[in-house]
């Protein structure tokens, strides 16, 4: 099995030198709801939720909804979970809250997501969680090994097919509970947030509304500045500590300087306690860049990761003479904890999740995220579509379709288009989340609305409530649920006005 | 090559006897914009339009938009035509009228459709006509023979793929004419009318609005009474002549009575001057049933077909004693003209169009049209989903997905769903069109509106203007174009308000 990002290595080999300080380009920062270092990977033992109200099911799902060839009739078992404890039932057309899974296993979603459980009793809602195809236990072709093998099997892993899966399961759930007119609210985060918004737009007859948390659905083609993601990473770190920002900014050159020495990579490897020898300074630079991105993306209580990383960089070691890279290393340790050695490739292990997501970014989820703004703590490395495409082609033998998302879902001129089309979508974003740069940040209409928080991190509103959550977060969640309640109330009124019963 | 409707024969063989007067069930009445007997079939030489302003193009289209397997990257040449004569150009963001082809060749659409040409100058619009995949010259897999061979090649022929084709071509046209913000209005009739409405709903970022003429998009699953189509056929004929209606109503039994005689089929064959020997009385009954349906569906000036057929049945031959079947035969002659013999299978010839459409009705366009109402001039033959599915399975080896259209497009509770979602759709229907029973006949919201005419036939509003068109038709078309103008005006205002330039 090749590494998930081989293109990355190739490119760096050909461009890195002591004259050019670059970072790996052609890599799309990870989406996802939880910090990677805390997420249960499907390869690891999954955390079973011991809630007896939560029941697991499998649905016999079509491999391909959009063709009718004999092969398209293959089916696979799609996993979903239901909690009906608080549901008021079909006779009241009581609502359904449906979580649309993103690029991770249902288990990790169940352990991270709080919005449904936290609001189920208040809304007397049926709670449904659906696993995304090709993640967790929802594997077409009988096994992850087969499903994730090559473009012939991976080809059925994409957003349109996933949305059609959700449509089929939600209609099935309604039938199962004999509740034709219960309104469904779909909820998702990150890539799953895009899916939630798109689901409301493509399947308005199934979902009454959507809560799209931290969905960077505008970060395609030229709709947003390509440097936006790392611009926000920089901004948050600079806002936390100017000193920290400055040290990080200077560190890249220092890394390259050390690497250029005789035995430089060995020195670097020792400096950063890497588990394996380094292939180049880019191994360290990419590792660090991902650490800063993750620290900012998931910067939230109780342990604010940016503060921790910057405290470590600013204050450690007390003896200043120990040097810049000692400080930088201390930052990494602050995030990852004390380890006997550090795996610089830890974010790109060929886990099933990473393999599946890498395919998605190499087929349609082509988000042009680069480092090409002066005001940044990162070395300038603009996104290069040509080499991105070439890398994907080399890996899979098929060419990405970077225009497909904008063709099918449409994102350009979102105000112009959605102001008079569509309804009932909440786009929630934390402005301290680097991916917020791809989010909808302004109200579009009365019911297609943007909810922002200055300090919010990626998907923070939909993860589980905690004691000690900041006031603004408590209020944001309350605002969201009140909007959803108003959609449901209007719908119930419409039902009565049209004299539609169960 | 098997007949396009073999199931029909099978079923009749097993059920028809002198005790049961039945009509072929499991047959969906033909959709389409022009009467079949007048339409240019793609196998016949097509009528070339000699308009020098109309330019033909081919677009390199993806075979499969919804998977990314190596096979999905196959491409085919999709034909479309452009008339830019009246277009005011990109600097004015002048509109584009786009005709979305249905189940026929571009040539026959170009010779039948008037709405674009008739309104192009008034709107200063660019006119675009697109041929539907698998029809006319738009054949994947290199040839009609390959494309229409079996489910493995036909599997890519469906509405979702066709809509994605239209999206890709329309974005391409905008790029070609460097006119990013020209509003596009999509127009279609019959099945193409469904496509137009669905296109606005699924691709609001590409089409500003849709005129869906005679689109029976509610005639799926149990959303409409299954007998509705033939109920209207009956009503129109009864309304034209009660005597005609009564004779048709009695004729079925008479046909079966004659067929049951020694040499009965020979007698019937002579009576109806059939070109080939009959396999059973159902050959004649199905032939006649289709004649009545076509006569009603396309009943319009200058030659009103229902009046002609009923005049012939009522008045001919002058000598009453010549019998009921002579009159019935005279009705058929009135529609089809004098021929040396009559091909009872004429509506089901295995033309490319019929083969492609038969596939569509056997995969997703499963409209449950039956004869099962007492108040009808047809023998009772309810729609039978089980045998319908079995027939399709026997033909293609794959099972129809009768729930797919309602899952993907959603049609149940159209008022409840679309009242607060979507905008800018005109559903136009003639209430004398049997397919109007599957149409949207009531306004849904301010901009999702129904335009009805009591006497209108199938797609009458979008076919070419003629001198002598009735006043109501002239007014209906004017109303439609005024609504479209108002959408465009609002859009242009929004563009300016948002300060969006070319």
- Across the range A187-209, mean pLDDT stands at 98
- Residue B493, pLDDT > 60, answer yes
Distance from CA of A23 to the nearest CA of B (A): 29
- B187 in helix, strand or coil? strand
Contacts for A456 with CB less than 8 Å, ≥ 6 apart: A428, A429, A430, A431, A432, A433, A472, A473, A476
pLDDT for the residue numbered B499: 85
B319: confidence class by pLDDT, cuts 50, 70, 90 = low
Give me the helices (H) in A62-158, please: 106-112, 115-123, 144-147, 151-154
Q: Which of A83, A363, A458, A461 is catalytic?
A: A458
pLDDT band at A8 (very low <50, low <70, confident <90, very high): very low
Catalytic (active site) residue A190: yes
**Averaged over A329-335, what is the pLDDT?**
96
In this prediction, residue B316 has a pLDDT band, given cuts at 50, 70 and 90, of: low
The percent of residues above 70 in pLDDT, for chain A, comes to 90
Q: What is the pLDDT of residues B191-203, one digit of tens each?
A: 999 999 999 999 9
pLDDT at A319: 58
Determine the Cα–Cα distance for residues B110 and A107; give it in Å rounded to an integer.
56
Return the pLDDT at A316.
59
* Per-residue model confidence (pLDDT) at position A38: 42
In the sheet that holds A184-189, the strands lie side by side as: A54-62, A75-83, A126-130, A96-100, A184-189, A209-213, A425-430, A448-453
pLDDT score of B46:
34
Q: Residue A439 has what pLDDT?
A: 97
Q: Is the pLDDT at A10 greater than 80, yes or no?
A: no
The yes-or-no verdict on residue A210 having pLDDT over 70 is yes
Contact residues for B381 (Cβ-Cβ < 8 A; gap 6+): B22, B23, B24, B25, B370, B371, B372
Q: What percent of chain B has pLDDT over 70?
A: 90
Strand partners, A452: A429
Q: Where are the alpha helices (DSSP H) in A133-227?
A: 144-147, 151-154, 159-176, 191-202
Query: What are the tens digits of pLDDT across the range B230-241?
Result: 999 999 999 999
What is the structure's pLDDT at B223? 84
Chain A neighbours among B 387-406 (CB < 8 Å)? 397-399, 401, 403-404
The per-residue pLDDT of chain A, averaged, comes to 90
What distance in Å separates residue B375's CA from the closest CA in chain A?
28
The pLDDT value recorded for residue B21 is 52
In this prediction, residue B453 carries a pLDDT of: 97
Give A41-71 pLDDT, tens digit per residue: 333 333 346 688 999 999 999 999 999 999 9
Contacts of A354 by beta carbon, 8 Å cutoff, 6+ apart: A4, A348
Which of A5-14, A61-70, A342-351, B232-241 shows the lowest mean pLDDT across its residues? A5-14
Tally the C-alpha atoms within 13 A of residue B156's C-alpha that lie toward its C-beta. Answer: 29
Among B453, B439, B375, which residue's Cα sits nearest to residue B411? B439
Q: Please tell me the distance from the alpha carbon of residue A84 to that of residue B27, in angstroms, as a whole number.
A: 43
Question: What is the Cα gyration radius of chain A?
Answer: 23
Whether B300 shows a pLDDT value over 80: the answer reads yes
Provide the pLDDT confidence category of residue A355 given band limits of 50, 70 and 90: very high
**Structural domain boundaries in chain B:** 54-222+408-497
Phi-psi region of A301 (alpha: psi -120 to 50; beta: other; left: phi over 0): beta
The verdict on a CB contact (< 8 Å) between B204 and A161 is no
Residues B119-133: tens digit of each pLDDT: 999 999 999 999 999
Give the mean model confidence (pLDDT) for residues A359-382: 91
- Among A59, A65, A68, A182, most B C-beta atoms within 10 A, so best to mutate, is A68
For residue B437, which of B233, B252, B172 has the smallest C-alpha distance? Answer: B233
pLDDT at B8: 30
pLDDT reading at B214 higher than 50: yes
Give the pLDDT of residue A131. 98
Tell me the average pLDDT across B220-228: 88
pLDDT value at residue A500: 80
pLDDT at B51: 81
Q: Which two structure tokens, joined as six digits, stand for A42?
A: 């499907």
| Confidence bin at B437 (pLDDT 50/70/90) | very high
In this prediction, does ipTM exceed 0.95? Answer: no
Q: Is the pLDDT of residue B394 over 90?
A: yes
Instruction: Please check whether residue A388 is in contact with residue A366, taking contact to mean a CB–CB distance below 8 angstroms.
Output: yes
Alpha helix (H) residue ranges in A368-461: 385-396, 404-408, 414-418
Question: Per-residue confidence at A144, pLDDT binned at 50, 70, 90?
Answer: very high
User: For chain B, percent helix, then strand, then coil, each to nearest 5?
Assistant: 45, 10, 45
**A416–B500: do the CB atoms touch at under 8 Å?**
yes
CA distances, B67 to each of A166, B363, B405 (Å): 17, 18, 19
Q: What is the pTM of this model?
A: 0.93
Query: Which CATH code fits B54-222+408-497?
Result: 3.40.50.1820
Nearest CA in chain A to B425: A421
Exposure string (b/e) for A240-253, b if CB count within 10 Å is 16 or more? Answer: bbeebbebbbebbe
Q: Locate the chain A residue with the closest alpha carbon to B363.
A: A68
Task: Give the pLDDT confidence score for residue B348 in this predicted structure.
Answer: 86
User: B383 and B226 in contact (C-beta within 8 Å)?
Assistant: yes
pLDDT band at A463 (very low <50, low <70, confident <90, very high): very high
Query: Pick from B203, B422, B494: which is nearest to A410 by CB?
Result: B203
Report yes or no: A366 at the B interface, CB cutoff 8 Å.
no
Residue range A374-380: average pLDDT? 87
CB contacts, 8 Å: B73 with chain A: 398-399
Using the beta-carbon criterion (under 8 Å), do B67 and A161 form an inter-chain contact? yes
pLDDT at B411: 74
Interface residue A337 vs chain B (CB under 8 A): no
Indicate whether B25 pLDDT > 50.
no
Please indicate whether, in this complex, the C-beta atoms of B399 and A73 are within 8 angstroms of each other. yes
Compute the average pLDDT of residues B368-395: 91
Q: What is the pLDDT of residue A279?
A: 96
Q: With a cut of 90, say whether residue A194 has pLDDT above it.
A: yes
The answer on pLDDT for A102 being more than 70 is: yes
Could you report the per-residue pLDDT of A418-437, keeping only the tens digit for each? 999 999 999 999 999 999 99
Annotation marks residue A433 as catalytic: yes
Q: Has residue A112 got a pLDDT over 50? A: yes
pLDDT at B36 over 70: no
Alpha-carbon span A450 to A441, nearest angstrom: 5
CA B306 to chain centre: 19
- CB spacing of A408 vs B164 below 8 angstroms: yes
Å from A498 to nearest chain B CA?
8
Residue B30 confidence (pLDDT): 73
| Rounded mean pLDDT, B326-348 | 94
Check pLDDT > 80 for residue B29: no
- Return the pLDDT at A502: 56
Question: Which is more confidently placed, B223 or A401?
Answer: A401
Test B413 with A205 for CB contact under 8 angstroms: yes
What average pLDDT does the segment A122-130 reach?
98
- Nearest Cα neighbor of A479 from A441, A428, A430 is A428
The pLDDT, as a whole number, for residue B315 is: 87
Residue B275: which residues within 8 A CB-CB, separation 6 or more? B341, B342, B343, B344
At residue B309, what are phi and psi to the nearest 5 degrees?
-60, -45
Position A394 pLDDT exceeds 60: yes
For A397, the closest chain B residue by CA position comes to B70
pLDDT in the model for residue A318 = 59
Q: Which residues of B touch A412 (CB under 8 A)?
A: 205
Rounded mean pLDDT, A260-285: 97
Q: What is the pLDDT of residue B222?
A: 86
pLDDT in tens, B140-176: 999 999 999 999 999 999 999 999 999 999 999 999 9
| pLDDT for residue A373 | 76
| Mean pLDDT, rounded, for A149-162 | 98
Listed by number, the residues of chain B in 205-224 with a beta carbon closer than 8 Å to a beta carbon of chain A are 205-206
> Using an 8 Å Cβ cutoff, are B55 and B81 in contact?
yes
**pLDDT tens digits for B411-423?**
778 999 999 999 9
Would you call A171 and B205 a contact, using CB atoms and an 8 Å cutoff?
no
pLDDT tens by residue, B239-281: 999 999 999 999 999 999 999 999 999 999 999 999 999 999 9
Q: Do B68 and A151 touch (CB under 8 A)?
A: yes
């Amino acid at each position: 099995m090749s590494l998930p990002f081989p293109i990355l290595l190739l490119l760096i080999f050909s461009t890195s030198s002591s004259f050019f300080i670059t970072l790996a380009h052609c890599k799309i920062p990870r989406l996802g709801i939880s910090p990677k270092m805390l997420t249960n990977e499907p390869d690891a033992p999954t955390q079973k939720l011991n809630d007896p109200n939560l029941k697991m099911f499998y649905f016999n799902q079509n491999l391909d909804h959009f063709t009718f060839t004999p092969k398209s009739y293959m089916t696979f078992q799609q996993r979903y979970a239901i909690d009906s404890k608080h549901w008021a039932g079909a006779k009241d057309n009581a609502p359904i809250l449906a979580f649309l899974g993103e690029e991770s296993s249902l288990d990790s979603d169940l352990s991270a997501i709080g919005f449904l459980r936290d609001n189920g009793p208040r809304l007397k809602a049926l709670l449904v969680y659906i696993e995304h195809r090709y993640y967790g236990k929802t594997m077409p072709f009988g096994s992850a090994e087969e499903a994730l093998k090559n473009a012939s099997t991976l080809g059925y892993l994409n957003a349109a097919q996933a949305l059609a899966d959700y449509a089929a399961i939600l209609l099935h759930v309604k039938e199962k509970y004999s509740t034709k007119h219960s309104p469904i609210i779909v909820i998702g985060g990150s890539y799953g947030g895009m899916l939630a918004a798109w689901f409301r737009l493509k399947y308005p007859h199934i979902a009454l509304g959507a809560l799209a948390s931290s969905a960077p659905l505008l970060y395609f083609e030229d709709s947003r500045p390509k440097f936006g993601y790392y611009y926000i990473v920089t901004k948050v770190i600079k806002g936390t500590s100017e000193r920290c920002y400055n040290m990080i900014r200077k560190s890249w050159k220092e890394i390259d300087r050390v690497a250029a020495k005789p035995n430089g990579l060995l020195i670097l490897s020792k400096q950063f306690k890497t588990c394996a020898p380094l292939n180049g300074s880019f191994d360290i630079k990419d590792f660090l860049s991902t650490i800063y991105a993750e620290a900012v993306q998931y910067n939230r209580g109780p342990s604010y990761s940016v503060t921790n990383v910057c405290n470590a960089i600013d204050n450690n070691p007390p003896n200043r003479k120990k040097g810049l890279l000692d400080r930088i290393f201390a930052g990494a340790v602050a995030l990852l904890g004390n380890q006997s050695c550090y795996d610089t490739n830890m974010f790109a292990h060929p886990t099933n999740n990473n393999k599946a997501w890498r395919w998605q970014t190499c087929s349609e989820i082509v988000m042009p995220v680069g480092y090409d703004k002066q005001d940044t703590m990162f070395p300038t490395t603009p996104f290069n579509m040509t080499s991105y495409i070439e890398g994907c082609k080399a890996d899979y033998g098929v060419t990405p379709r970077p225009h497909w998302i904008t063709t099918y879902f449409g994102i350009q001129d979102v105000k112009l288009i959605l102001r008079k089309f569509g309804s009932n979508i909440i786009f929630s974003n934390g402005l301290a989340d680097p991916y917020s740069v791809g989010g909808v940040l302004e109200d579009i209409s009365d019911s297609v609305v943007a909810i922002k928080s200055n300090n919010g991190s990626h998907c923070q509103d939909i993860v589980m409530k905690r004691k000690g959550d900041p006031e603004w977060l408590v209020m944001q969640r309350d605002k969201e649920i009140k909007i959803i309640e108003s959609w449901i109330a209007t719908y119930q009124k419409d039902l009565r006005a049209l004299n539609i019963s169960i």
